[in-house]
Amino acid sequence: MTDHFRRDADSAARGLNRIGEADRRSAVRRYGGLPAPGSRVPDMGPRPEYSAEAEERILGGCGLMGVCDESGGRMSGELAVRSMASMHDRGNGLGGGFAGYGIYPDFPHAFCFHMLYTDDASKDDTEYYLARHFVVLHHEPIPTRPVRGIQDEPILWRYFLEITDQRLAETQLSAEDYVVHAVMDINAHINGAFVASSGRNMGAFKGVGFPEEIGQFYRLDEYQGWTWTGHGRFPTNTPGWWGGAHPFCLLDYSIVHNGEISSYGINQRYLEGFGYNCTLRTDTEVVTYLFDLMLRRHGLPVEIACKALASPFWKDIDLMPDDQRKLYSALRMVYGPALLNGPFAVVLGMGEGMVALNDRIKLRPLVAARNGSTVYVASEESAIREICAKPERSWMPRAGEPVVARLAEGVNPAASRSGEAFEVAASPAAVA
């Protein structure tokens, strides 16, 4: 970041932490703030119709990519933009986006909220909400440059947030759960405000346009990150909402997704039981929340979570050795409602690295490659060769076989999952 982006940061932050504007208070009271400790389904009042993009869920095809240097070497965001540009025809200009990790070395432990606002009122409401629930270390507009083809951009702002120990003690929540509650509150209850990303040392840059235009617009060439994911969208209707573009993010998890989740109905109802509100009219949202649930709250290793989300077939499970059969049977029995069915390729960006996954019968394209410590994935091999002409190895991942890139120990100190103990502490046997 340059000094230009930090202008007036201190004075604005002080303003944000001031509480007591009477005209805003009533609005926040209606949202109810963070839920009471221990409540399983957040008590957040009636959910408003969320139709910023469309009345209906959006379907569509897409192109995607991901790159991760396991050694922690940082790459310019320009790399991801160039890779996506080669897959121009996989999108139709109605959505493009990127997620970068390791891009905020000045605030490696702060939760960074990338916000999209339709108007000043939604920004004011959100800032009041954030000031009430967080310590705002720093905030600033997300830097952009004018690009032909990009229009009607929302107000784009980012906030680097901390939570006081006292607030965590009061709510009896882990920092991660606290953030999740806040994200759900804002997305569900502050009209015109949308949290594009909420992780540590990462951010999502997305909007309406072709991915290369979006990358230009957000000046991604000025960022350096150890993991990048990108997405170009081909929705089958004509919305114009920036929040509808990929990646979809929660905490450190970001998802870019090509495909459709035909099991959306039950995935959504399953997630609601764990307090997630699916209000964004896109099936990609459930993928993000399922990873958050299984990795962070249930503490499952990512390879195992992938085997639950795109599970092996019974005919194969039946042939496994005893202990494996027991494991995979249990995963299907317990996580049946989480099974992602239908055609998809997803790339999950996370604090620990990157994971790419295909559906259980590989109905959408996904190619992977490795060169040294860097792992590449993309919808098309050309998108990989565009940024790495001769990888040591390239391959087609099999259906349901995750491609995992794991950052070396110590690259991202914020990646330790402190929320893990929250759910696991309760013994599964103690539910009688």
Partner 1 sequence: MAELTFVRPEFRVRIDRETCIKCGRCVHQCGWSVYHLDEEGRPIPDHAKCAACHRCVTFCPTDSITIEKNPLAYKDSDSMSPAHRKAIWRQAETGGVLLTGMGNDRPYLRIFDHLLLDACQVTNPSIDPLREPMELRTFLGRKPDFVQVAMGDNGSGPRLLTELDPQLKLETPIMFGGMSFGSVSLNVHRALAMAAKESGTYMNTGEGGLHADLEPYQDHIIVQCASGRFGVHADYLQAGAAVEIKIGQGAKPGIGGHLPGEKIDEQVSTTRMIPQGTDALSPAPHHDIYSIEDLRQLIYAIKEATGYKPVSVKIAAVHNVAAIASGVVRAGADIVYLDGFRGGTGAAPTVIRDHVGIPIEIAIAVVDQRLRDEGIRNRASIVAAGGIRSSADVAKAIALGADACGIGTPVLVAMGCHVCQKCHTGCCSWGITTQRPELTRRLDPEWGAERVSNLVRAWSHEVAEILGALGVNAIESLRGSRERLRALGLDESTMRILGVKPAGVGH
Site string (197-236) toward partner 1, x via CB under 8 A: ---------------------------------------x
Contacting partner 1 within 121-180 (CB under 8 A): none
Identify residues 295-354 at the interface with partner 1 (CB under 8 A): 297-301, 303-304, 311, 313-315, 323-324, 326-327, 330-337, 339, 341-343
- Asked if 421 interacts with partner 1 (CB under 8 A), we say no
CB of 342 to partner 1, least distance (A): 5
Nearest to 347 by CA among 100, 179, 59: 100
What amino acid occupies position 276? Y
3-state helix/strand/coil string of 297-334: HCCCCHHHHHHHHCCCCHHHHCCCCHHHHHHHHHHHHH
Q: Which of 101, 194, 217, 264 binds partner 1 (CB under 8 A)?
A: 264
| Cβ closest to partner 1, residue 57 vs residue 219 | 57
Q: HSE-up of 147 (CA within 13 Å, CB side)?
A: 20
Q: Mask: binding to partner 1, 53-72, rule CB under 8 A, as x and -?
A: --xxx-xxx-----------
Kindly tell me which residue out of 19, 36, 41, 169 binds partner 1, with binding defined by CB under 8 A: 41
**By rule CB under 8 A, what string of x and - marks binding of each residue 7-26 to partner 1?**
--------------------
Taking the C-alpha atoms of residue 203 and residue 291, their distance in angstroms, rounded to an integer, is 17
Cα torsion through 78, 79, 80, 82, rounded to 10: 80
Torsional sign, CA 240, 82, 349, 178: negative
What does the CA dihedral 275, 412, 130, 132 come to, rounded to 10 degrees?
90
Distances in Å between the Cα of 169 and the Cα atoms of 134, 160, 163, 173, 182 are 14, 21, 10, 7, 16
- Interatomic CA distance for residues 185 and 42, integer angstroms: 9
User: Using CB under 8 A, which of 191, 363, 370, 394 touches partner 1?
Assistant: 363
Among 201, 244, 210, which residue's Cα sits nearest to residue 230? 210
Residues 6+ apart with CB under 8 A from 414: 108, 109, 200, 201, 252, 351
Residue 342 near residue 310 (C-beta atoms within 8 A): no
Tokens representing 354 are: 């990157």
* Residue 160 parent element (H or E): strand 155-162
Residue (19 or 334) nearer to partner 1, CB: 334
Of 133 and 360, the one with the shorter C-beta distance to partner 1 is 360
- Residue numbers annotated as active site: 62
Number of residues in contact with partner 1 under rule CB under 8 A: 60
Contact 115, 159 (CB under 8 A): yes
Residue 426 interacting with partner 1 (CB under 8 A): yes
Minimum distance of partner 1 from residue 260's CB (angstroms): 4
Distance in Å, CB of 298 to partner 1, minimum? 4
CB nearer to partner 1: pick between 323 and 409 = 323
Q: Does 45 bind partner 1 (CB under 8 A)?
A: no
Nearest approach in angstroms of CB 204 to partner 1 is 24
Summarize as ranges the residues that interact with partner 1 (CB under 8 A): 40-41, 55-57, 59-61, 236, 259-260, 262-266, 268-270, 272-273, 281, 294, 297-301, 303-304, 311, 313-315, 323-324, 326-327, 330-337, 339, 341-343, 360-361, 363, 423-424, 426, 428-429, 431-432
